[in-house]
Amino acid sequence: MIAIENKIVGVAPTEILGASLTAIAERNKRDRPANLVLKFEGGEVHEASFTKIRFDAESNQLMPLLEVGQWENIVLVMGWKKWLIFSVTPVTQIGSLDLHRSENEDAGFYRVNFLSQNGLLIAVYESGVAAISGAGKVVWHRKKYWDDVLLQANDGRLIFLTESGQRFAFECSSGEDTEAN
């Protein structure tokens, strides 16, 4: 499991991984996704419409919000429809993951669960499941329905339950369908 931390991002640099990885938001309009600039030694990444705007009680205004998690030697910067994957040492962008999300979904995740299985970080979010290696490579990424619930992860399998009570499973190492019993 990894802990997810919320980061309010404004026009001044916000520390993501100390001073070695910072974020600055450029708002298009208050009701549109914010553009994001992530800066690190030796480079920067520009992402258009990366994160939606949410109300921040501390500043009493609408602000871009990022969700950030760290696992082993990688950091995930989670946006509205895409996750950016960074190496911790040295800080560099090593990958990205385009999420299975539609334009009409809200800015927040309904639920995101992370677990470590067979040397992979397994990410289960409302409309997909992905496996990311310790080197930051997306090993596999599968679509699922938003209300499919992860029941268990064992014996190298992820077992889900659908709204109708049916079970299905993915192999942790490959993402392929497997027996759910």
Residues 68 and 141 in one domain: no
Domain that holds residue 28: 1-99
Residue 94 falls within a domain, yes or no?
yes
CATH assignment of the domain containing 163: 2.40.10.480
Predicted confidence (pLDDT) per residue in 114-125, tens digit: 999 989 999 998
Written as one letter, the residue type at 9 is V
Residues 95 and 116 in one domain: no
Predicted confidence (pLDDT) per residue in 17-71, tens digit: 888 999 988 766 555 678 889 999 888 999 988 887 777 788 787 788 788 889 9
pTM of the model: 0.86
Quote the distance between the C-alpha of residue 49 and its chain's center: 15
Lowest mean per-residue pLDDT among 20-24, 46-50, 79-83, 109-113: 109-113
Residue 104 falls within a domain, yes or no?
no
Tell me which residue of 158, 97, 81 sits closest to 132, measured CA to CA. 97
CA distance 99 to 78: 10
Residues 9 and 94 in one domain: yes
Residue 69 falls within a domain, yes or no?
yes
Residues 126 and 94 in one domain: no
Residues 85 and 157 in one domain: no
Residues 7 and 73 in one domain: yes
The domain tally of the chain equals 2
Residue 3 falls within a domain, yes or no?
yes
